[in-house]
Structure 1
Amino acid sequence: MTPLPASAPADGGPGTVLVSRVPLGPRFVARSGRPRGWSPAHRVLGPELDDTLDRVADERGTDRRAVAAVLLLDRYALRLTAPVLAAFHELDVLLDARPEVVSLGPDPHTPGWLALAAPGRPARGDRAALRASLLDGALLPLADDLAVRTRAGRRTLRAAVAHAVALSMLHLSWRRPRPDAFVGPTRALLHDAGLGGLVVVGAVRVDGTDWMSVRRRACCLAFRTTSAAGRYCGACPVRPAAAVESDLADAARSFRARAAPDPRPTQPNPLPNPPPNPPGSTP
Structure 2
Amino acid sequence: MSAVPGPAAGDAGDTAPGAAAGDAAPGGAVSAAGDASDASAGDPADAAVPDAPAGAGRTGADALRGTGMTGADAPSGATAGMTGPPAPEAAAHGPRYALGHGPQATGPDLLPADRLLDPGSPELDRLLTSEYEGSGHRTAHAAALTLIAVYAGRVTAAAVLQWALDGRVPDLRAENVLVRPSGHGIGGVWLRRNRMLTGAATAARPATAARPGAGSAEVTPAPPCGHVHASAGDRTSATCPACFRAATLPLLHRAVLDDHLLPFADALHRRTRAGLRQLRGGVAHGCATALCASQADPDELALRWDEFSATAPGGIGHLGEVAQVRRPDGTPRLVYLRRTCCLYYTSAEAVRCASCCLTGRAERLRAYAAGT
For normalisation by structure 1, the TM-score amounts to: 0.75
Provide Cα deviations, 1:161-212, integer angstroms capped at 9, x if missing partner.
001111211223x522xx2222232123223122121012233367987643
Q: CA deviation at 1:27?
A: 0.9
CA–CA distance in structure 2, aligned partners of residues 143 and 85 of structure 1: 18
3-state DSSP of counterpart to 1:59:
helix
| Structure having the larger proportion of residues in helix | 1
1:36 aligned residue? 106
Contact 1:32 1:116 survives alignment (8 Å): yes
Task: Give the whole-Å Cα distance in 2 for the aligned partners of 1:21 and 1:222.
Answer: 28
Match of 1:121 in 2: 197
2:174 aligned partner, one-letter code: P
Structure 2: gaps (5+ residues): 1-47, 66-87, 203-243
Is the Cα contact below 8 Å between 2:135 and 2:184 reproduced in 1? no
The structure-2 alpha-carbon separation of the partners of 1:10 and 1:79, relative to structure 1 and needing over 3 Å to count, comes to farther
Change over 3 Å in CA distance of 1:131–1:221 after alignment to 2: same
Give the Cα separation in 2 of the matches to 1:111 and 1:57: 13
Does the 8 Å contact 1:200/1:214 carry over to 2? yes
Instruction: Report 1:269-280 matches (<5 A).
Output: none
2 CA distance for matches of 1:26 and 1:10?
Answer: 13
Larger RCO: Structure 1 or Structure 2 (Cα < 8 Å, ≥ 6 residues apart)?
A: 2
Residue matched to 2:207? none
Pick closer, same or farther for the CA change 1:215–1:43 going to 2, 3 Å.
same
Residue 323 (structure 2) aligns with: 202
CA distance 1:204–1:160, shift in 2 (3 Å): same
User: What residue number does 1:182 align with?
Assistant: 301
Partner of 1:24: 93
Q: Name the larger-Rg structure.
A: 2
Could you list the per-position Cα deviations for residues 78-100 of structure 1 after superposition, in whole angstroms to 9, with x for gaps in the alignment?
A: 11232112222234321222211
SS at match of 2:296: coil
**Structure-2 residue corresponding to 1:256:** none
Instruction: State how far apart, in whole Å, the 1-side matches of 2:100 and 2:187 are.
Output: 5
Q: Is the 8 A contact 1:198 1:218 kept in 2?
A: yes
The aligned runs of 1:76-155 (5 Å cut-off) are: 76-105=151-180, 107=182, 113-118=188-193, 119-122=195-198, 124-125=244-245, 126-155=248-277
Match of 1:214 among 336, 340, 345: 336
CA contact (8 A) 1:10 1:25 kept: no
**Corresponding residue for residue 244 of structure 1:** 364
Q: Secondary structure of the residue that 1:23 maps to in structure 2?
A: helix
Query: Equivalents in 1 of 2:53, 2:175: separation in Å?
Result: 23
Provide closer, same or farther for how the CA distance between residues 61 and 213 of structure 1 changes in structure 2, counting only shifts above 3 A: closer
**Deviation per CA, 1:214-235, whole angstroms, max 9, x where unpaired?**
1111111111011x2x211111
Secondary structure (helix, strand or coil) at the match of 1:115 reads strand
Task: Tell me the distance in 1 between the aligned counterparts of 2:255 and 2:264.
Answer: 13
How many corresponding residue pairs? Answer: 246
Retained in 2: the 8 A contact 1:10–1:111?
no
What's the offset of the Cα at 1:139? 0.3
Scaled by the length of structure 2, the TM-score of the pair is 0.58
Q: Is the 8 A contact 2:130 2:184 kept in 1?
A: no
